[in-house]
Structure 1
């Protein structure tokens, strides 16, 4: 592969580092079928270092990284997109729902902030909140279980 076939441009890596800068995470390691990219905060915390390689030079046994929703029993309300999950409409405000609350498909149960946009999360199903599975102001992946519902009585 020549330099003109690079899997990521310098701008791509800079954008990934900018996204990482807005999170509490110190490093990101992505392995795909084509390449492996590692971005990490430097020891002083002033910037980021990056290291990448083509898959054929990556560590043996490297696998493709994919977002996998964790397995959670029962009816779960899952994150429709990645971002920061908030349980309340504003800091200090009461949460949208608590354990024991009855929800309908249209009930807003939280907000996910993605790229500075606040996206409401609707229950999508009817039921009673059995457990809150994600803490407030937590970075979550698409498909992450946020809230578990008890099945409504028939």
Structure 2
């Protein structure tokens, strides 16, 4: 669905660059084809877009994390894109999840910062977190296993 976004990642990066140099916290752009809302969130930005005639979606939630089975019966959560892995919404805040926490498919388990945009990562599966692999603020690839989940 990200391919439905009528802007390239470079376009969004340029928009956030302009916004970061301004005193504004929110930028709301509406055209005949789409509406894009970029909002300052701590050190970075979050974004949501609406194709005209469609429903609002956060860009990051349109790109779901990969959930794959492991040989030991656990599921693994991989990020939807490369970037920097964050366990909490902001420095000093409690982590989204800890080992032993129960999650649903919609539970936000982390944030991946890519091109100064903060992209929430949803569990994509129902179960219990049994392992969190990357350290907070660690650079990760799209193939990195973020967490292991025991399915419900």
Q: CA deviation at 1:151?
A: 2.2
Gaps of at least 5 residues in structure 2 are 1-68
Q: Mean Cα displacement is larger for which, 71-80 or 142-151?
A: 71-80
Instruction: Please list the CA deviations of residues 103-127 of structure 1 after superposition, one character each: whole Å capped at 9, or x if unmatched.
Output: 0000000000000000000000101
After the TM superposition, which parts of structure 1 deviate over 2 Å for at least 4 consecutive aligned residues?
Answer: 71-74
| C-alpha distance in structure 2 between counterparts of 1:83 and 1:72, whole Å | 23
Paired with 1:122 and 1:108, the residues of 2 have a C-alpha distance of 4
Q: 1:72 to 1:134 in 2, by over 3 A?
A: farther
Distance in structure 2 (CA, Å) of the matches to 1:114 and 1:122: 16
**How far apart are 1:150 and its partner, in Å?**
1.1
- Equivalent residue number for residue 14 of structure 1: none
Supply the RMSD in Å over aligned alpha carbons. Answer: 1.5
Q: Give the C-alpha shift of residue 134 in structure 1.
A: 1.0
Tell me, which stretches of 5 or more residues in structure 1 are unaligned? 1-70
Counterpart Cα distance in 2 of 1:85 and 1:119: 10
Q: Are positions 1:82 and 2:82 aligned together?
A: yes
Superposed counterparts of 1:46-125, under 5 Å: 73=71, 74-125=74-125
Give the aligned partner of residue 144 of structure 1: 144
Alpha-carbon displacement from aligned partner over 1:51-76 (angstroms, at most 9, x marks no partner): xxxxxxxxxxxxxxxxxxxx965201
- Contact 1:75/1:151 (<8 A) preserved: yes
Cα distance between partner residues in 2 of 1:147 and 1:127: 12
Whole-angstrom CA distance in 2 between matches of 1:87 and 1:72:
22
Contact 2:108-2:121 within 8 A present in 1 as well: yes
Aligned residues: 82
2:133 counterpart residue number: 133
Where 1:145 maps in the other structure, the secondary structure is: coil
Tell me how far apart the structure 2 counterparts of residues 149 and 134 of structure 1 sit (CA, whole Å). 14
* CA distance in 2: counterparts of 1:134 and 1:106, whole angstroms: 21
Higher strand share: 2
